[in-house]
């Protein structure tokens, strides 16, 4: 989780994107498979959220369009903020079996980011599909990164 928050901070400090970072690990070995930082503004592409970037890199590193494994531990996404509507779709189709987030969706919405149509049923559906969802670790640290982004005049690109 610390890596995801550190990536979000680095993105803000460099001025290279929004205050969001993500990392995907192999649950069995702990190996890092891919990282992502929000690149929406820098690359002029509204889909390049940190989670989506991490999915792309992790799938490239394992040489497959899916991160699903036959091993019990599976692949795990750690993200600095609760996923938005688009990224929840990515979670479902990526093959990860666990999602851990730091800041909550309402923290991002306080900055005026529009997280889209995310409902309790969204998470219930993922759980029924065998994906564990956990929130809370490092929330305060992730919120501080968001506040730093706001203080620097960071672009709220989907408000």
- Neighbour tally for 77: CB within 10 Å: 31
- Tell me what pLDDT residue 127 has: 96
Residue 48 within a domain: yes
- Rounded Cα gap, residues 147 and 104, in angstroms: 14
Residue 71 has pLDDT above 70, yes or no: no
Domain count, the chain: 1
Residue 158 within a domain: no
Residue 159 within a domain: no
Residue 50 within a domain: yes
Residue 69 within a domain: yes
Residue 113 within a domain: yes
Residue 87 within a domain: yes
Residue 115 has pLDDT above 80, yes or no: no
* Of the listed ranges 10-14, 72-76, 144-148, the one predicted with least confidence: 72-76
The H or E element that residue 9 is part of is: helix 2-14
- Neighbour tally for 47: CB within 10 Å: 12
Q: How many residues belong to the chain?
A: 159
- Tell me what pLDDT residue 157 has: 75
Q: What residue numbers bound the domain in which 107 lies?
A: 2-151
Three-state DSSP state, 139: helix
Three-state DSSP state, 41: helix
What share of the chain in percent tops pLDDT 70?
97
Q: Among all residues, which ones are annotated catalytic?
A: 51
The CATH number for 60's domain is: 3.40.140.10
Record the tokens describing residue 78, joined without a space: 């750690």
Residue 85 within a domain: yes
């Amino acid at each position: 989780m610390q890596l995801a928050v550190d990536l979000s901070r680095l993105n803000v400090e460099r001025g290279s994107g929004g205050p969001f970072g993500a990392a995907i690990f192999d649950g069995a070995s702990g190996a890092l498979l891919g990282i992502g930082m929000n690149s929406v503004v820098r690359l002029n592409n509204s889909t390049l959220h940190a989670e989506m970037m991490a999915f792309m890199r992790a799938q490239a590193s394992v040489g497959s369009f899916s991160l699903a494994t036959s091993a019990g531990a599976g692949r795990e996404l750690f993200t600095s903020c609760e996923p938005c509507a688009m990224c929840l779709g990515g979670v479902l189709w990526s093959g990860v079996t666990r999602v851990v987030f730091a800041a909550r969706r309402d923290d991002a919405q306080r900055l005026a980011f529009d997280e889209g149509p995310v409902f309790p049923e969204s998470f219930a559906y993922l759980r029924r599909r065998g994906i564990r969802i956990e929130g809370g670790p490092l929330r305060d640290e992730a919120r501080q990164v968001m506040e730093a982004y706001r203080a620097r005049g960071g672009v709220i690109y989907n408000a």
